Amino acid sequence: MKKYQLGEFEEIVLLTVAVLFDDAYGVSIRKEIEQKMNRKVSVSALQTALRRMESKGFLNSRFGEATAVRGGKRKRLFLVTPFGKEALEHAKDTRIKLWESIPSIAFDFGK
């Protein structure tokens, strides 16, 4: 369904925001993806994806409290919306259906 359409990177970011839950902000999201996925993430690509998913209604954001560690700068924290959860469930269900539809012979490479 087009309303739930997520690109691969968007799906990874959305899942990571859910994993981090109340500590999902740009730096933590990027660090988590790089550690868990062993994949480099540019700040601009991440920020573009976050803005795009917020405009699509998959994410909400709010500003956290200012901290001395950040020089008084506040973090923009992200949370998955109910619509974002539906999009993730749709992606998961679609993948499961595809995996379950693969005939066993498709991966029989004659070993």
Task: Please give the CATH architecture assigned to the domain spanning 2-100.
Answer: Orthogonal Bundle (1.10)
Nearest in space to 50 (alpha carbons), one of 30, 20, 71: 30
Instruction: Return the pLDDT at 111.
Output: 65
Instruction: Return the pLDDT at 1.
Output: 56
Instruction: Return the pLDDT at 5.
Output: 86
Domain ranges across the chain: 2-100
From the centroid of its chain, how far is CA 17? Answer: 6
- Other residues' Cβ atoms within 10 Å of the Cβ of residue 102: 9
pLDDT in tens, 8-51: 999 999 999 999 999 999 999 999 999 999 999 999 999 999 99
Instruction: Return the pLDDT at 41.
Output: 96
Q: Are 21 and 52 in contact (CB under 8 A)?
A: no
Q: What percent of the chain has pLDDT over 70?
A: 92
